[in-house]
Amino acid sequence: MPKNLVIVESPAKAKTIEGYLGKEYKVKSSFGHVRDLPKDNQAIDIEHGFKPTYEIPKDKKDVINQLRKEVSESDYVFLASDDDREGEAISWHLKEALDLSESNTHRIVFREITKNAILNAIQNPRGINYDLVNAQQARRILDRLVGFELSPLLWKKIKTGLSAGRVQSVAVRLVVEREREIEKFIPESFFRISAIFTIDKETQLKADHPKRFKTEEEAVAFLESCRKSVFTINNLEKKPAKKTFRSRRRNRLARGWYKPLAALLCHPRGHRLPH
């Protein structure tokens, strides 16, 4: 009888990993998360530090019962959920739901399904990273608090079945704030002055005055004051013309047109098709 139980998230990984570990190990799957917040507004105790209450969903009770049986028959349990925030939370929920003890429970992680990676993970277990667990809990709590407030409003005002969470609600607020700024914007007319200076018979230089004049009268008055002025060039800098996104895309497409054409004209075996 196997003395070690390894619990992974995906059942597709279980058989492969069990083959790598041998007869001393049995690998079972949790099929993802095993606990979640109840579907009511009593799931989070706002008055006492936003403390969450978790329950085992109906569709996961058989999974938990089977895992409890496997745990009772094993000496050691290895929690091998994914190496990320959600995976760390799954390991913690498994530990709580299965009432696992610290002494015979190990957390292992691996980033590839190979024999070397699996064996290395078994040989280098660690504890549960509670910083990641708390980060996942905070995300889930925010989803629930924001969603329970906003989703019913969306159902009433827009369409039934829509959801609003911590991401959608912030994005909507940014859009609304920007729209309000656009509505409050009052357009103002202004006048700018450009001049063309003839350097010689073949060369002309265009210059724009940086000042914006509020009225046409101000702009005309400035031009009148410039009639007898003498203009000189104090400094001249030459810079390469800026390429627009459209010109870069056109050049790139022009350079690479022959590649798809060659693929169309060539047979998969390398023989050219007849014209």
51: which DSSP letter? E
CA dist., res. 72 & res. 228, Å (int): 101
What is the reported pTM?
0.62
The token pair at 117 is: 């990676």
Q: Print pLDDT tens along the chain (275 aa).
A: 568 999 999 998 898 999 999 899 999 999 999 999 998 777 898 888 899 999 999 999 999 999 999 999 999 999 999 999 999 999 999 999 999 999 999 999 999 999 999 999 999 999 999 999 999 999 999 888 877 777 788 788 888 877 777 777 778 788 999 999 999 998 888 999 998 888 887 888 888 888 899 999 999 999 888 888 888 878 877 777 766 667 776 776 665 555 555 555 554 444 444 44
154: which DSSP letter? H
DSSP code per residue over 195-261: EEEE-SSS-EEEEE-S--BSSHHHHHHHHHHTTT-----S-----PPPPPHHHHHHHHHHHHTHHHH
What are 27's strand-pairing partners? 6
Per 3-state DSSP, the chain is made up of helix, strand and coil in percentages (nearest 5) of: 45, 15, 40
